[in-house]
Amino acid sequence: MEDAIENIDIGGPVMVRSAAKNFKSVLIIVDPNDYGRIEELLKTNRIDLKIRQNMAAKAFAHTAFYDSQIGKFLRKDAISALELTIPGRRTIDLRYGENPHQAATFYLTPNTNSPLAKLKKMTGRDLSLINLTDINAGLESVKLFKEISAAVIKHNTPCGLALGKTSREALERAIEADPESAFGGVIVLNNPIDINAAHVLSAFKKAGRGNFDIIAAPKINSSAFEYLKDIRESMGIYVF
């Protein structure tokens, strides 16, 4: 605890806040990702009040994030806190929010153990908010089992959840639980997808039963990945 207290920065945040407060005459930069853009604007003398104000807002958000981490470290009981600031880092810019006309961004708290923190797109469509919540519902479902399991999620509701000796068997059983609702759904497995499991999705389409929007698994074998890409170009393929 003593080392942690000693490492709490006092002067740095004060200087950042002071510069941000005086944004009308000061340009404060706290994000290295802004260096290149600001450098080009400085070269052409295009730093206006709006840019300085935006950078100031970013600076205040940065110091607030820092302070919230200190508070989290020192606070043992968040439930009893009179005021609570939850820090978040932007993780994914979503395709849209709950509806197509709504913009949305996904944030995660630092050091979270959520598998969504490791979610990575391999190919296909970006995620909408509904896709993301469907993946989360699928993860929450399959993590309940030590056995190989698969979930088919539609609008945050499992329409199929099954166990199997292989990924293929679990996937077949999950889809057949309600094949009509499975159409356009999100598939999540707790086991790698191999070529045999990929064939299940192809057979579903060839039978005229439809496609799936998203498929997510801890790993997708290279042969299965190439096969899945050909089933539907826009199908999102994700690993976590």
Whether 95 is covered by a domain: the verdict is no
Pairing label, strands 120-123, 148-154 = unpaired
**Residues 111 and 76 placed together within one structural domain of the fold:** no
Q: Which of 226, 163, 232 is nearest to 204 (CA)?
A: 232
**Residues 143 and 234 placed together within one structural domain of the fold:** yes
Residues in the chain, total: 240
Whether 88 is covered by a domain: the verdict is no
Q: What is the reported pLDDT for 78?
A: 65
Q: Answer yes or no: are the C-beta atoms of 150 and 142 closer than 8 Å.
A: yes
**Residues 199 and 132 placed together within one structural domain of the fold:** yes
Phi, psi angles (nearest 5°) of residue 206: -65, -25
Whether 96 is covered by a domain: the verdict is no
Q: What is the Cα–Cα distance from 126 to 124, expressed in whole angstroms?
A: 7
**Residues 116 and 231 placed together within one structural domain of the fold:** yes
**Residues 45 and 145 placed together within one structural domain of the fold:** no
**Residues 62 and 26 placed together within one structural domain of the fold:** yes
Residues of the chain predicted below pLDDT 70: 77-78
Residue 63 belongs to a domain with what CATH number? 3.40.50.1380
Whether 90 is covered by a domain: the verdict is no
220: DSSP letter: B
Residue at a domain's end among 62, 80, 98: 80
Q: Answer yes or no: are the C-beta atoms of 165 and 191 closer than 8 Å.
A: no
**Residues 17 and 69 placed together within one structural domain of the fold:** yes
**Residues 115 and 34 placed together within one structural domain of the fold:** no
Phi, psi angles (nearest 5°) of residue 8: -70, 120
Whether 93 is covered by a domain: the verdict is no
**Residues 24 and 124 placed together within one structural domain of the fold:** no
| Residue 8 structure tokens | 């709490």
Residues marked as catalytic = 21, 155
Whether 111 is covered by a domain: the verdict is yes
Whether 85 is covered by a domain: the verdict is no
**Residues 135 and 201 placed together within one structural domain of the fold:** yes
**Residues 169 and 128 placed together within one structural domain of the fold:** yes
Q: Answer yes or no: are the C-beta atoms of 217 and 191 closer than 8 Å.
A: yes
Q: Give buried/exposed letters for 174-200 (b at 16+ CB in 10 A, else e).
A: bbebeeebbbebbbbbbbebbeebbbb
Q: Answer yes or no: are the C-beta atoms of 142 and 188 closer than 8 Å.
A: yes
Residue 160 belongs to a domain with what CATH number? 3.40.140.20
Q: What is the reported pLDDT for 75?
A: 83
Q: What is the pTM of this model?
A: 0.79
Q: Answer yes or no: are the C-beta atoms of 132 and 94 closer than 8 Å.
A: yes
**Residues 67 and 117 placed together within one structural domain of the fold:** no
Whether 86 is covered by a domain: the verdict is no
Bridge partner list, 220:
193
Q: Answer yes or no: are the C-beta atoms of 185 and 155 closer than 8 Å.
A: no
Query: How large is the angle between the packed helices 11-21 and 49-74, nearest 10 degrees?
Result: 150
Q: What is the reported pLDDT for 86?
A: 87
Query: Domain total for the chain?
Result: 2
For 112, the domain range is 107-239
Q: What is the reported pLDDT for 1?
A: 86
Q: Which of 142, 144, 135, 192 is nearest to 168 (CA)?
A: 192
